[in-house]
Amino acid sequence: MMTSKSNIDIVYHGYLPMYEPYLAALVHIGITPEVGSYFKLCTAKRQAFGNLMFIGLDDTLNRVYAMGCRGFDSTIINSQNGFRKIYNIESKVCYIDTVKIANYIPRIVHKMGNYPPLNNTAQRLFYYWYKTAYPKVCSFVEQQVHLLREE
């Protein structure tokens, strides 16, 4: 395991917390979620907007987080930076927006969660999203990790 001179906090953020941001954070730390369990987690945590969720440590001991902002990304990030200044927290934070890999399917699945009779349809749609999104997320995370290591 490599260690870096100064560790950073890496925050993957997007509109919905449990889809692209969470999946990107898992991929970043080397975890591939089992799709059935991942669907249940997304369903259970579907209202976790604004929560900064610690996911784990990467291979250089950087802390990796996921956060869903429901379109208020800049407001939440500014608030977090304000608290860092108030409390003299000197750690470096890198915010990575997952909008480049986001699509409309998670929002549809999220809305279907309001209607229990549509759960099977939501689950099938989620599986399709996962199958198509996972390679994109892996490529995106690989690119972001490369950029972080160049800094």
Helices (H) and strands (E) in the chain, counts: 5, 4
Q: Residue 13, SS3?
A: strand
Q: What is the pLDDT along the chain (151 residues), one digit of tens a residue?
A: 444 457 899 999 999 888 999 999 999 999 999 999 999 998 888 778 878 999 999 999 999 999 998 888 889 999 999 988 999 888 899 999 999 999 999 999 999 988 989 999 999 999 999 999 999 999 999 999 999 988 7
Q: For residue 16, how far is the Cα from the chain centroid?
A: 8
Global confidence as pTM: 0.89
Query: In this structure, what is the dihedral angle of CA atoms 72, 75, 77, 82, given to the nearest 10 degrees?
Result: -160
Phi, psi values for residue 129, rounded to 5°: -60, -45
